[in-house]
Every structure is written in structure tokens, then in C-alpha cells.
Structure 1
Amino acid sequence: MATARELGLVTGGLRVGPLNAITDVNGVSVGHRTLSGDGLATGVTAILPHAGDPFRLKPRAAVDVINGFGKSAGLMQVAELGTLETPILLTNTFGVAACMQELIRRAIAANPGIGRSTSTVNALVCECNDGGISDIQAMAVTPEDAGAALDAAKPGHVPQGTVGAGTGMTAFGFKAGIGTSSRLMRIGDEDFTLGALVLANFGPVGQLVLPDGRRPVPGAVAETEKGSVIVVLATDLPLGDRQLQRVARRAGAGLARLGAFWGNGSGDLAICFTTADPVEHEPKSAFASLRRLDDGKIDLAFRAAAETTQEAVLNAMCEAQATRGRNGRIYPALADWLKENR
């Protein structure tokens, strides 16, 4: 398929990173495990915040729950302590437990004292319901699948659309899935990057608004909003915990630009982490010095969060292939609609 920009959909005016992907943030890597066939269209997507052990060197993070109709794991501790302790895994609703198991097993293998001589580990897994296309009751995602996604993680190009956790996801009546985007920010005399990766599975038919104002309708009947979207924002900008949550909240602005209104049955949340000034598990001092952006300069990060979220969702839809659901319904490709309606 093609990206949104390749199809003429330009989102915002900030400069785009070299790959237009979350992996433009140095150290971040992404991997997928795709499960398809025999009624399955599901998988796992892994986001690694850096190349080391996140339990020993914890990236600072925050979460903003836009609408809490979801079954993710690990968000409460991120909100309370402001750090990540594992990679972030994305999957379907019934795959959360299997992904947690693999994250915990790997953390224990690297740190045998977990749960005994030191604290337990907070496994972070987020989900969307892909039951419209995949047989979610099959409980097909296994710890081994989660491990395969983690092992596949690498910097550089990020496959988008019908891949990994996005294999069975839909949005606004079209096929959707995994999407990513990035923006470059010049603040003071320094350069920074903010990138987004989304698991897009939300939005009722007829509500999608493109950057040029068009409203694509795939031809299906209207339906109640009952999907979800997970937005993961990564940056190398030095931000405090409160600022990270404020940036995460601006992902909602990007979703709103697309026509989302966060319906009663929609699970919508954003996680934002920074690779700057990670927290040591066993600090050598009782006090830590953290660099923090002046609040008066944070608007550029807010704008980048909105722009990358909007474009990442469009990329998820433009890169996805048309798919038949379990009940025979066809979820068309947005790329095909765009080509037919130039």
C-alpha cells in the first residue's frame, strides 16, 4: 500500500523525521509478530524504549486515559511512579495476560532478584479488540508470540498497516492497524524528535475527517462507537513527569482532528515516554538531577504530539489492506478509496 503522504494527505506543518516513524527517536525500536489464517487475524507489536534493560534503567513516562473502556495492564503504576520497567507490548484484548507473562519472564531472567530481593516488575501491555475480524475467543496469542515480537524489534523502518497487533483492527469502517509518524523540534539551540506509534481500532462509519476536509464513507451502515486506540509517544526531549502527561494528553487533539469523539465504548489512551534522564533502579545517590523543559517552550511538543498522532492513524489506514470480517463484512482500504476519489 502507501503512506498518507504518498497519497497526498499532509498533516500539519512541522518538519518530519527521516523515517517519519517513532524509531526516529534514537534508541527506540519496534517489532511485530503477525498471526493469520484459520480464522485468525491478530498479533503482537513491541516497542522497546532503549537497547538496554528498562528494569535497571527506567525511562520516565506518563499516561493519559482519554476514555477508560479498556483492559490494559500496568498503567496504574506508570501513572503513580512515572517510569517504564518493561518494553510496551500491544495486542488484542484477550492476549494481554500472555504478553504480561513473557515480559515478566524476560525481566526475571535478566534480574533474578525480581520479586525476592528487589521489587516486582510492572509489565506494560495495551490492547484493542480485533474480534470483528479475528476469532478473539481462540486466545491465540501466546507468550512465545510476544517473545517473537520482542526479538524482532529493531531500529529503522517500521512496517505499518495490517501487521502485528494491527492485523485485525479497523477504524471508521475501513481496515486499519499499526501506524507511525514523527516530527522534528528546534527548541532553543537544540534539536529534538517526537514520534508516535498507534494501534488504531476506533471511529464509527462516516465520522472520519481527512486533512483536506473530505469525509470518506466505506459504504457500510453506521455503527455505535465501540473501538479503541492506543497512542505511544516517544521523545528525546527532557520533560518532567507532569509535562509528559500533558504531552500525552495532546494525542487526543490528533484523534479529534480525525473526527473521533471518544464514545462510551471506546478505550482511548496515550502513553508518553522520554529517553532523556532515565531513572536507575539502584541509584547511587539519594537525590537525582533531572533536566526539564521550561513550560513556556512546551507548545511545540504539544503540536508535535497532535500532528504525529493524526498522521500515524492515517498511515495505519492507508497502509492497511482490505479485509473480510468474520461475519463476511468487507473492511475496505482507505488507499483504494483515495485513488478512486482523487
Structure 2
Amino acid sequence: MEDLAPAPSAPGARRRARDLGIVIGRAATGPFDAITDVPGVRVGHTTVRRPPGVHSGVTAVVPDAVSPRTPLPAGVFTGNGHGKLIGTTQLAELGTLETPVLLTSTLSVFRVADALVGWMLERPGCERVQSLNPVVGECNDGFLSDIRARPVHEEHVRAALDAASDGPVAEGCVGAGTGTVALGFKAGIGTASRTADLAGRRFTTGVLVQANFGGTLRVLGRTVTPGSMGLEAGGPTPEGETGSCMIVVATDAPLDARQLTRVARRAVFALARSGAAYSHGSGDYAVAFSTRPGAGVPVADAELGPLFEAVLDGVEEAVLNSLLAARTTTGFNGRTAPALPADRLLSALTTGPFGPGGPGSGGTPRP
């Protein structure tokens, strides 16, 4: 069966971090606590499921009106380059984004890039375009999905792009996160946003993660393992790590490409807060772009501190949201990745430190 991702308000939807009272950082969120809180940013998913062997898909982050004729300033940072982020070299060289940013499974990334090129060439204003730099990232979902089947095709890419919308963003086992696993638990797509005052002006920064990396989960500074939750671990062993994490950051602050590269660095750094191991086989990347490059006086470097903090907090929350939204999944070859149980997590956080790491250093959920 193949299906589009359900709306986040679907019956039985799992709770997000803030629904549980887990608040990361001091800054306020946007109305949806999602990357779509940044004006002019839309998200679309196509989820591809053919149980038991296929759990995959594609996710599209679509800035309005982006094209080779109207590129947006952008930056990219590679924490560990064991991955396939198509379009990296031109993005880094020119500091511009010409297309939506798409995320998918490792061996489907090339088909997705080709489909994105076809979709872009049909956009108004692209009739004479002869050069185009598609930006497509990936994570290896081979633990739960038959990755060699390369199940994501052009129609799935077009569906995600055409269905992209603002408002709430579906999380967990949807789109490019359908088959991903992180920190021993079933993971997927997660998102969050923050507002920040820079030199007396308020801007919104949103993040979206495709979480699929190894390490040991930390929540509010406390160690959380499948064992501490009464579960068996899911995902590849550290020796067989085939993970990655793709992060997309959008902001309406008028930043240039160099500043956006600095923002992208902080997004990758933020994974350490969640317990990322940055292993040999983990491709850890962030792409950051501004939707309003000409919106008033540029922000000085010395004023970027609140925005950097917003990105750090947003990525940490987005990773946790990806875990809390995901559901236990049994996939390829009978492998199972367990969901992070919200009730047990909340109970552990409110009753005291736990896990093999001993006492935690973080706070407690707010009532």
C-alpha cells in the first residue's frame, strides 16, 4: 500500500514534547512550533509503504517562489560527510538556493533529484533555464525498509511538492522519516520553531529534521535508553551504523550566505544535545536559508547570538518531536524499532534521574 502522510491532527496522533510539558530553552515558538512558522515556507510529504518490506518516502521543504531566477541566500555545513547531499558544492560556492530542499532514502536520492529538476523546469519563469542545482538530502532507512528496492519515484516527488502547505507539519513516520531510526528508537521527521529579537527586530527561525542517527538519547540532560524504558533497542549497532541526520533551517531574518553557514553549523552542533554520536557512517548535514534577504537593514554578526540559541533549542526539540511522534515499526526482515513511550518518559523525568548514566543534569518538565 502507498499513501500520503496523514495530517498531524489525525485520530490517535501522538503527543509532541510541549504537549508533555517538556520545554527546551527560553524563547517563544511560532504558532505551530514548526518550520512553516517562517512566512513563505511550506512542507509536503509522500509516504511510501508496502508492508512488511518497504517503509520510505520523500519530504519537501518548499520556499515560495524559489528558482534559478529568484534564488535565496543559503549556507550548508557538513558535520560528517558520509552521505549524499546533492547540490552541496554549488550551494557552498555561490551561497544560493535555487530549488526546494527534498529529503528521502539513500538509494532513492538520485531519482528524487531528477524528478525535482523536471518539476522545476515546468515552473513559470523557468522556460529558458539550462542550468539548475537541485538540493536533495538523504538518510539510510535500510534497517526497516528494503533500500535496494528504491521505492521512491517521480510521482511521489511531485505529490510531495504539489501538496506542500503551510500550517501544522506531520511528524514521525511520514515522508522521508517513514523508515528512519535514531538513538535506539523509531524516529522520523520532526520540526520546531523559535522567535528571536535581533537588534530590536523580531524574526522567526524554524527547523525540520530527518532523524536517523546513532548515540544515546538525552532529554533535559538525562540519559534515556530503550532499556530504561523497558524496551529492546532498535536500529543498527554502532559497529554497523548506517545513520545520518538531515537538518533544514529557514529564517525570515535578512542574513547573507556566510551568516547562514554559521547558522547551519549550530544546527549540526545541536545534535550533540540529543546524544548524537557522529559516528563514521553518519552523514550529518544542515542547510539554512533566508526567505527575506532584502528585508531591511542586514543583521550584524555580533547580534546573531539569540538566533544561534534559537537554532540550538529548535533542533533539540525537533529531534525529540521526531521520536515522540513515531510509532513502533516492524519492517524489512522482521526488524523492529520501538517507539519512545511518552508516558514512561514523562514519568521518568518527573520522578528522578535514571539510566546507566546516573543522575541527569537537566531540568524537569514544566507543569
Is TM more than 0.5 here?
A: yes
Following superposition, the deviation at residue 232 of structure 1 comes to 0.3
* C-alpha distance in 2 between matches for 1:316 and 1:147: 24
* C-alpha distance in 1 between matches for 2:277 and 2:238: 14
Match of residue 195, structure 1, among 199, 203, 206: 206
Q: Is the 8 A contact 2:198 2:299 kept in 1?
A: no
1:107 alignment partner, SS class: helix
TM-score by length of structure 1 reads 0.91
Which residue of the partner structure matches residue 360 of structure 2? none
* Pairwise CA RMSD: 1.8
* C-alpha distance in 1 between matches for 2:189 and 2:115: 21
Where does the alignment leave 5 or more consecutive residues of structure 1 unmatched?
A: 279-288
Match of residue 345, structure 2, among 315, 333, 338: 338
Alpha-carbon spacing, 1:214–1:8, altered in 2? closer, same or farther (3 Å)? farther
Task: Give deviations 1:106-155, integer Å, cap 9, x for gaps.
Answer: 2222312122xxxx000110000101111111111101110000011001
Following superposition, the deviation at residue 16 of structure 1 comes to 1.2
Match of residue 47, structure 2, among 24, 29, 34: 34
Give 1:261's aligned amino acid: A
Alpha-carbon spacing, 1:290–1:241, altered in 2? closer, same or farther (3 Å)? farther
Instruction: Please say which of residues 21-30 and 37-46 is displaced more in the overlay.
Output: 37-46
Where does the alignment leave 5 or more consecutive residues of structure 2 unmatched?
A: 1-13, 351-367
Instruction: Please say which of residues 148-157 and 251-260 is displaced more in the overlay.
Output: 251-260
2:218 alignment partner, SS class: coil
Following superposition, the deviation at residue 328 of structure 1 comes to 2.3
Match of residue 128, structure 2, among 113, 128, 149: 113
* C-alpha distance in 1 between matches for 2:269 and 2:18: 20
1:209 alignment partner, SS class: strand
Task: Give deviations 1:161-216, integer Å, cap 9, x for gaps.
Answer: 00001000010110000000000011222210000000000013xx1111151323
Which residue of the partner structure matches residue 276 of structure 1? 292
Q: Is the 8 A contact 2:185 2:233 kept in 1?
A: no
Task: Give deviations 1:21-40, integer Å, cap 9, x for gaps.
Answer: 00000000000000112421
* C-alpha distance in 2 between matches for 1:66 and 1:30: 24
- The count of aligned residue pairs is 325
Q: Determine if the alignment matches structure 1 residue 133 to structure 2 residue 148.
A: no
2:143 alignment partner, SS class: coil
Which residue of the partner structure matches residue 254 of structure 2? 238
* C-alpha distance in 1 between matches for 2:284 and 2:72: 22
1:303 alignment partner, SS class: helix
Q: Determine if the alignment matches structure 1 residue 171 to structure 2 residue 182.
A: yes
* C-alpha distance in 1 between matches for 2:274 and 2:73: 29
Instruction: Please say which of residues 64-73 and 212-221 is displaced more in the overlay.
Output: 212-221
Alpha-carbon spacing, 1:329–1:108, altered in 2? closer, same or farther (3 Å)? closer
TM-score by length of structure 2 reads 0.85
* C-alpha distance in 2 between matches for 1:329 and 1:179: 23
Q: Is the 8 A contact 1:277 1:291 kept in 2?
A: no
Which residue of the partner structure matches residue 71 of structure 2? 58
